[in-house]
Amino acid sequence: MPLKTYKDAGGNPIQFMEIDGIRYPYVEGVDQDHVVRVARAAKARDDDVVLITYAKSGTHWTWEIISMLCNGKAETIPTIKQMHMIEAISSDELTSLPSPRVLNTHFRFNDLPEDMRKKKTKLVLVHRNPKDVAVSHYHHHCKLEALYKYNGTWSEWLPLFLEGIVDVNSWFDYVKDWEKAIEEHPDHPIHLMFYEDMKEDLYREVKKLATFLDVSVSDEFCQNVAKLCQFENMKNNKKGLENEFWTNVWADRKPSFYRKGEVGDWKNYFTVAQNEQFDELYKQKMAGSKLKFRFEL
């Protein structure tokens, strides 16, 4: 299988599985090439909902919210989003999921299963500002030792992100690719959300999401969902990682995808020079884009 190793600015190695030029975390003992290719041929159901995110952009958080809305229960979901991730589970596992399926993926539009594009499956797309994504991504690579074998510093790692040598490649290319997909497929139901808007007023965003999903829920229900899905509640209540596989993946043997969940945490990492370099790259890469990102609240 196409396992590749790169080196950061300090010479520290980091590994990825590469399939058709796209990088994925390497999972030992899994034929990922087969799983990803089969995923692209998955069959859609009329009531499917698919959450789309660039890695480290609020996937776990938003998947929980969508699942509660689709289930009609303001209750913590007793599983994790990985068990519903199109490119991470087998075709049998995907088929066995009960309807309505709330799926998730880091695929770009053209990599989505053709059947989902043809049937115009409802898509929820969540974007997050790239500076906070970068910080979260760095910790992700360091903590998931078994997947990436990485232990460099922030300053050594950042050039990898700027070059797009991370999971699902360049953030800039990813968000622009989805912007183009929305423009070219105006009849496909795609609900665009921003992580920062969710942090600012989660109840408001839950209400908008409920309208898009066409689920009949009360304001009180939306308030309860928003409360349950506040960061600290998710961090304390969410289960599903308590097994040998996840324990062995983490460097500290304490599995958790919930670190800080803040907007503006990047200020604790970026030096003045790094921030200026990032801003210049952002200006170049996002030229012509209509997307507007908030880097603080």
User: What residue has token string 């660039």?
Assistant: 54
Task: Categorize the per-residue pLDDT at 165 as very low, low, confident or very high, splitting at 50, 70 and 90.
Answer: very high
Top pLDDT among 14 and 40 is at 14
- Catalytic site residue from 60, 106, 127, 141: 106
Top pLDDT among 119 and 257 is at 119
The letter for the amino acid at 119 is: K
Q: Output the average pLDDT for the chain.
A: 91
By DSSP bridging, strand 13-19 and strand 3-7 are antiparallel
By DSSP bridging, strand 3-7 and strand 102-105 are unpaired
User: Averaged over 275-283, what is the pLDDT?
Assistant: 98
Tens of pLDDT, residues 78-101: 887 888 999 988 889 999 999 999
106 is catalytic: yes
Tens of pLDDT, residues 211-221: 999 999 999 99
Where are the strands (E) in the chain, listed by range? 3-7, 13-19, 22-24, 49-53, 102-105, 122-127, 190-194
Q: Which fold has domain 3-285?
A: Rossmann fold (3.40.50)
Does the structure show a pLDDT above 80 at 250? no
- Helix%, strand%, coil% for the chain, nearest 5: 45, 10, 40
Give the span between the Cα atoms of 207 and 85, in whole angstroms: 24
Q: Spell out the domain ranges in the chain.
A: 3-285
The letter for the amino acid at 168 is: V
Does the structure show a pLDDT above 50 at 255? no
Write down the number of H helices and E strands in the chain: 14, 7
Is 127 in contact with 174 (CB distance < 8 Å)?
no
Tens of pLDDT, residues 197-242: 999 999 999 999 999 999 999 999 999 999 999 877 776 765 555 5
C-alpha distance across the termini of the chain, in Å: 43
Sign of CA dihedral 191, 129, 107, 93: negative
> Quick one: what percent of the chain has pLDDT higher than 70?
91
Counting every residue written for the chain, the total comes to: 297
